[in-house]
Structures are given as structure tokens and as C-alpha cells.
Amino acid sequence: MTSSPDTGASSPDSEAPSSFPDGGAPSPFPDSEAPSPFPDGGVPSPDNEASPPGDGTPSPGNGTSASDDLFQLVFRSAPWTFQSLYVTARLGLADLLGDGPLTSDELAVATESDADALYRFCRAVAALGLFREHPGRIFELTSTGEAFRGGGLAQFTIVNGAENFRSWADVMYSVRTGKPAFDRVYGMPAFAFLDRDEEARKVFHTMVGRGTVPPAVDSCDFSSDTTVVDLGGSVGTLLAHVLRERPELRGVLQDLPSVVGEAPTVLAGAGVAGRVEIVGRSFFDGVPAGGSTYVLSRVLHDWGDEDALRILRNVRAAMTEDSRLVVIDQVIPEGGGFHPGKFSDLQMLVVLGGRERTVEEFRGLLLRAGLKIRALRPPADDPAGSPRTEAVIEAGV
């Protein structure tokens, strides 16, 4: 269910190997004039005297780089950081400041919020570097805040600030059982929840549908294709992207009935609606025959191995000797080191009971479905330098 975010910004800074929208600046207070988060502006002693015991506020370490690194990690990953960004995105504060600075009172009126509470939120968000605070409770957008306006990362924050965030509160359950906390918290799997909750579904498909076509798809050659079948293709954004430049190509879009309702608008907007058949049906119940290419983009990672295998067997049954399967997903490298897929893998565990996979895990799964890997293309960008790290695996019978 969860896709990799599009940063919504093209500057290299925004593609730093960090989960933070500002690109992972080393200080949590990049725009702040005060060097310390503490009211007196001082650096507390190593044993944390500046922070009353039990208030939950971490303090900078003892001046060693390791303890300072740890402080940055803990401080910036705390709920207050993410939830402040969530409120910023959900209330559209960056968009409201897009035309120029406003007071927090004006923002409170525009967003129907409590004026004092919103001021305190804006002050904290300014300390994170998205706004600049001026005297008189006036807030101005910084370049980092500008990148947050209506972009994929804002959508990502919205999706992850609500139901997913509550699921993460129960992450211990997932770690101990290997099962998704989401199901325990909400009493049903995430896709069943989205099926019933129109608002949450809209938010989710805006994220996957708005400018988040994985760049990996552009490394695929569709020149000898006749029909591309996009399975779990959401509202058709990827299919529209593929068909737009290829007038000879036809498409089939398959997703759940509750999802494909918005597809005609997206496909018509791209001028390809007349060439696409829309199938509102679960891929567990079958996959249409006749495709020259079947696409599973950011779908297999939503599922554990047995469910992924059921999908792949249905795809295999629909394929001929000549057709190919294109899988677009994170491929986790063996060994240590940073890779965004290692975190997205945890998200899959907690929210969906799915997983990201290594190439050998993909190979094993595909073989069990009667398919062989024919090509593997890693992401064009260095995974350490970009959150858009899906790879392409092409398979055939």
C-alpha cells in the first residue's frame, strides 16, 4: 500500500539519503538562530540537567560526535517531528504561505485552528527549517518549505501521519509476531480499510497517483509491445505515462472496484482513455489474458510470500510464451549500508504484512510461479542518493 515518495522537488538537495523532507540537514535547527532547543539557549551538561527528569525531551550528548549523532537521530525521529510535518501537510500550511508571509493568527483562521496552538506548531516547524519566523508571529516559507508544497512528500506525510502512524504505535506487536500491527489496531487489513474508508482511500491514491510514477518504468522498452496490463495500477497514472508517447499501444488497468472509479478522469486527462480497458477486479480472482507485458509496480511488496505467489500464479496463467512480466519494486542489496528499502520493508511489515525482497528472494518466488528472471535493472540513481530506488525485474516463462 505504501509507495516510495516523490520528493516533489528537483534539486539535488532534496534527494539526500534521508527520510527527512529537508534532505537530512545535520542540525535539527537549520534555520533557527538559537543553537539549542533549550529555553535558556545553553547546552546542557552531559547528565542532562537542563531537562527535567521524565519530560521525555532528549538532550544533546556529551560533545562527542557519536552522542551528538544519536541526539540528532532521536530528536528528529521523535513523534513531534513527524506529526508536526503531518499537521503542516494536512492543513496545507505551506500552500497557504505560498503567496507570501502570514501571521499564525491568519493561518489559524484559514485552517479553522486554535490560534495559540497553531502558533506553537508553526514555531516548531520553523525550527525544523520549513518556515522562517519573524517578529509578530509572522511566518514565511523557506526553500525547504517550498518543496513541501503539494508535493509527493507532503502526500507521503499525510498518508503516514494518520492510520499508518497509529499502527506504528503498536510496532512491538509486529516485531514479536511477524504480523501487521495495522490489522490489530483497525480490526482489518489495510486494503480492506481503504476499501471502506473513502477519505483514506482518496488520500492514498492521491499519493500514488500524483506524479509518483516510478522512474524505473522509463528504463523499460515497450517498442515491441501491443498491450500493457497494469495490475494494481491504482487510478492509471503509470499506464497513462506509458501510453501517452506511444499511440499504437493499448492498455488494461486492473485494480479493486473501489479504486478504478477515478481512472477514467486520469486516463482522459492524458488523452489515452480510448485505448484503455478498465478492469475493477481483485488480482487474486484472476488476471486478463492477452497482454504482451504485465506490470506489477510497487505491488508485490504489499504482500507476504504466499499472497505474492497467488498473484504471480494468476499472472503466469494469463501469460503466453511471448509475454513478459515487469516487476517494479525495491530490491534490497545484500549486506550492510543504507538503503531506503530497508525502512520501507518495515513499513510493509507493520502496515500490510508484506515485505521488500532481495534479488534472490524475488528469483525464488518467481521460480515457484513458473517464471524466470530475464533482466534486472537497478535504479538509475545511486540508491544512497535518492528515495526513488525501485529496480526493474523482467521475467518470462
Least distance CB 232 / ligand SAM (angstroms): 3
Check binding of 155 to ligand SAM (CB under 6 A): no
Check binding of 5 to ligand SAM (CB under 6 A): no
Taking the C-alpha atoms of residue 126 and residue 86, their distance in angstroms, rounded to an integer, is 14
Q: In the complex with ligand SAM, which residue's Cβ is closer, 191 or 193? A: 191
Check binding of 122 to ligand SAM (CB under 6 A): no
Check binding of 255 to ligand SAM (CB under 6 A): yes
Check binding of 366 to ligand SAM (CB under 6 A): no
Whether 301 sits among the annotated catalytic residues: the reply is yes
**Per the residue annotation, which of 134, 205, 241, 301 is the catalytic one?**
301
Check binding of 191 to ligand SAM (CB under 6 A): yes
Range in contact with ligand SAM (rule: CB under 6 A) among 112-120, 154-162, 266-274, 276-284: 276-284
Residue nearest to ligand SAM (CB): 232
Least distance CB 109 / ligand SAM (angstroms): 36
Check binding of 256 to ligand SAM (CB under 6 A): yes
Range in contact with ligand SAM (rule: CB under 6 A) among 149-157, 158-166, 206-214, 267-275: 206-214
Site string for ligand SAM, 299-328 (x = CB under 6 A): x--x--------------------------
Taking the C-alpha atoms of residue 388 and residue 390, their distance in angstroms, rounded to an integer, is 6
List binders of ligand SAM among 212-251 (CB under 6 A).
Answer: 212, 214, 232-234, 238
Check binding of 284 to ligand SAM (CB under 6 A): yes
Least distance CB 214 / ligand SAM (angstroms): 6
Q: Which residues bind ligand SAM (CB under 6 A)?
A: 1, 3, 191, 208, 212, 214, 232-234, 238, 255-256, 259, 282-284, 297-299, 302
Q: What residues act catalytically?
A: 301
